[in-house]
Amino acid sequence: MQFKGTEKYIATSALQIAVNAAIHLEKPLLVKGEPGTGKTLLAHELAKALDKKIITWHIKSTTTAQQGLYEYDAVARLRDSQLGDRDVTDIEQYIKRGKLWEAFQQDESVILLIDEIDKADIEFPNDLLLELDKMEFYVYELQKTIKATKRPIVIITSNNEKELPDAFLRRCLFHYISFPDSKTMKDIVDVHFPDIEEQLVGEALRVFYSMREINGMKKKPSTSELIDWIRLLIWEKKDYDALKELDVKFQNPPYLESLLKNEQDVELLQDFQKYYGKR
Amino acid sequence: MFFEFLYQLRGQGIPASLHEYLNLMDALSKNVIQPDVNEFYVLSRAIFVKSENQLDAFDRVFDAWFKEKMKLPPINLLNAFNPEWLKKNLLHGLSPEEKKAIEEFGDFDALMDRLKELLKEQNEEHNKGNKWIGTGGTSPFGSGGYNPKGHRLGNKSAGNRTAVKVWENRTFKNLSGNTEINTRNIKVALKYLRHFSREGLPTELNLDKTIDKTSQNAGMLDIVMQPSKKNKVKVLMLMDVGGSMDDHIAVCEQLFSAAKYEFKHLEFFYFHNCIYEHVWPDNRLRWTKRIPTIELMHKFGKDYKFIIVGDAAMSPYELYFKGGGIDQNNEIPGIHWMQMLSKHFKHFIWLNPIPETNWNFFETVDILRKFTNYRMFPTTINGLIAGMKCLKNPKKSYKKDIWGDF
């Protein structure tokens, strides 16, 4: 079982090794990196490459670890006991299975994506230590232990909004997806737009990287913005000439709104241009 | 051989342990990587490094360790020399041109004889020559060379993808930085101030009351709902800026970012050295957008927890004299403002970034410490925890003798 990237996903050799190590060592892989560098996509593409099912658990600020395991609906059981609808001695029907349980009971090993783990409460990762380590948990209501038949491959993404506890980190392999250099970026563009003109890519990347070089951006445009932007360029049939002479020091690139996502950054670009315009 | 590496990593603050070491051994035994130093670098990085701000330290350690290892006396190649093995493995991957090149030299056996001869003569590392085995030369043996008849020994390829370069570049330099961004333990300390209360829409089942009500209802179900618990603590924070506080900017920033995250109701203002008529919410607008201190007391009720962050190191006249303010002509001495504030806010503590052991060197620190009824705390984790406990319980104080630890 070796991951080499897919047709639509260029994985650097470092990322490939990290993924393969995670698979062989049966450890969760924690992936960090700038927003838009393909952290979540990695899990989906890994599932495609290995031809496995993917189970996604999106974490929100209100998510608790228990929700990933199971939820016991006591009220429904109480109601049924009054109305006599169902057999209330069968507790199992009032237990709602969470994503981890779902992943554990698959016949084949699956990819379990725990997306944006840093969104949850600061203690959240600590509550999952044993579950991710031993791949089992105990259900009090049923008095039985749920154990993974086949260990799922766990991919965890984080945007670094909160630091994760050491005990949790200790159990993970770590990979930081650094921003792609222009050569890798060209490969990425090529897999998304196989028919694109060579020159257009060159110019688009030049403009894109010069945008990223402006200091003080709150959110630098990243891979996903670049892909959207090029899609717009192609859709509007902009060609190489439209970008050839373009210098972000003096003028805005077309479809600026797809590259810069907040008004402070647009303002910053304007200030930047004013500064160069005066000289 | 890797133990040394492990200890070097620990020496540079990467929390590597036996656990990671065993993982590395496990990965190596499972052949996760090719026997290639580049891949080994990536694999060990994935295992030992747990956060992007450790990447730079890791690169430095790896570089040093790797260079050290390269200095080891070379293995006696002659003893390990096995022409049969070489023939099997070398000829396997050769292109027709390369095979032809061997024939140019003579035949394979002639080549091997020459290699053996050279191994006998050479007893040190040797690069860039035309005879010895090494790198970047024109002898038929070695790696990264220019001899069309040459054969690569060891290294995978020449040019800019060589392994050493990857970590020597220290790509992650700017992510490391010297500022420790670990605010996690500060957040955990601030948690002690959590004050849970139930307000708002009833969304949770109250089990006890439901059972009571149902029993009263002769067994017919009567569900009682209640609002969920939320952290309702309200905090007013005043922070000293400029002058002597410049030394403590880092710790104040950490404290501020942790507080902003932990407290949903956080009001935040600045002052300089001592509190007088005005405070301000934004340092850039200090002279245009000021809030009268009186207004603070009107606007924020007694239920606000009041935290002053400052070094309290000033001249006594800044505290006691009219017009003693360092950059303003105040009509009321600072100590009076302090009194008014501490009277209004029952829950009041002072956090002082100066280390506790140095408090005695400043007269005003001592004065204010007594003034706050010994509710001044150092900005260490333990100090924060003690402070948060005191904020919750106005009766507590922090009288510990500051020389007690010596």
A-B C-beta contacts closer than 8 Å: 84
d(CA B263, CA B377): 19
Segment A209-239, tens digit of pLDDT: 888 888 777 778 888 888 888 888 888 877 7
**Each residue's pLDDT expressed in tens, for chain B with a length of 406 residues:** 678 888 888 888 888 888 888 888 888 888 888 878 888 888 888 899 888 778 888 888 888 888 877 775 555 555 656 666 666 556 555 666 766 666 666 666 776 777 777 766 655 544 444 554 544 444 445 444 344 344 444 433 333 333 344 566 555 554 443 333 456 777 777 777 777 777 777 888 888 888 888 888 887 888 888 888 877 888 898 888 877 777 787 778 778 878 877 787 888 888 888 888 888 887 776 777 788 888 888 888 888 889 998 888 888 888 888 877 777 778 888 888 888 888 888 888 898 888 888 888 888 888 888 888 888 888 887 788 888 888 887 777 776 654 443 3
Question: Out of A14, A74, A169, whose CB is closest to B42?
Answer: A14
Matching residue, tokens 């922090």: B398
Chain B residues touching A181 at Cβ < 8 A: none
Nearest C-alpha of chain B: how many angstroms from A96?
17
SS3 A204: helix
Residue of B nearest to A21 (CA): B32
Contact B172 A178 (CB under 8 A): yes
Question: Out of B32, B210, B221, whose CB is closest to A21?
Answer: B32
Span A45-51, average pLDDT: 91
Contact A162 B184 (CB under 8 A): yes
Q: Where are the beta strands (DSSP E) in B136-252?
A: 141-143, 151-152, 196-205, 225-231, 234-240
Sheet holding B348-352, edge to edge: B265-271, B234-240, B305-309, B348-352, B376-378
Angle, CA of B303, B388 and B260, to the nearest 5°: 75
Chain B residues touching A30 at Cβ < 8 A: 50
Question: Out of B15, B171, B220, whose CB is closest to A82?
Answer: B220
Chain A residues touching B30 at Cβ < 8 A: 24-25
Q: Which DSSP symbol is given to B359?
A: G
- DSSP for A209-227 reads HHHHTSTT-SS---HHHHH
d(CA B150, CA B132): 12
Q: Where are the beta strands (DSSP E) in chain A?
A: 29-33, 54-58, 70-72, 95-97, 111-115, 136-139, 144-147, 153-158, 173-177
Contact B42 A18 (CB under 8 A): yes
Segment among A84-93, A185-194, B135-144, B154-163 with least mean pLDDT: B154-163
CB B380 within 8 A of CB B251: no
Burial A137-161 (b: 16+ CB within 10 A, else e): bebeeeeeebebeebbbbbbbbebe
Q: What is the pLDDT of residue A152?
A: 92
Q: Which residues pair with B152 in a beta bridge?
A: B142
Is some CB atom of chain A closer than 8 A to the CB atom of B225? Answer: no
Q: Where are the beta strands (DSSP E) in A1-119?
A: 29-33, 54-58, 70-72, 95-97, 111-115
Contact B46 A79 (CB under 8 A): no
Count of helix runs (H) and strand runs (E) in chain A: 13, 9
Question: Out of A79, A122, A163, whose CB is closest to B221?
Answer: A79
Name the B residues in 17-46 with CB < 8 Å from any A CB. 17, 19-20, 23, 26-27, 30, 32-33, 38-39, 42-43, 45-46
Which residue blocks in A26-165 are alpha helix, DSSP H?
Answer: 39-50, 65-69, 74-83, 99-104, 129-134
Question: Out of A21, A22, A174, whose CB is closest to B49?
Answer: A174
Is some CB atom of chain A closer than 8 A to the CB atom of B157? Answer: no
d(CA B293, CA B280): 9
Q: Which residues pair with B269 in a beta bridge?
A: B238
Span A167-182, average pLDDT: 87
d(CA A255, CA B237): 43
CB B63 within 8 A of CB B167: yes
| ipTM of the complex model | 0.74
Q: What is the pLDDT of residue B52?
A: 79
Q: Per-residue confidence at A28, pLDDT binned at 50, 70, 90?
A: very high
Name the A residues in 164-183 with CB < 8 Å from any B CB. 165-166, 169-170, 172-176, 178
SS3 A57: strand
Name the B residues in 320-349 with CB < 8 Å from any A CB. none
Q: Where are the beta strands (DSSP E) in B110-217?
A: 134-135, 141-143, 151-152, 196-205
pTM (predicted TM-score): 0.61
d(CA B224, CA A93): 23
CB B176 within 8 A of CB B57: yes
Contact A13 B205 (CB under 8 A): no
Segment A115-166, tens digit of pLDDT: 999 888 878 888 898 888 888 999 998 898 999 888 899 999 998 767 788 8
Name the B residues in 256-315 with CB < 8 Å from any A CB. 261
Count of helix runs (H) and strand runs (E) in chain B: 18, 12
Q: Per-residue confidence at A111, pLDDT binned at 50, 70, 90?
A: very high
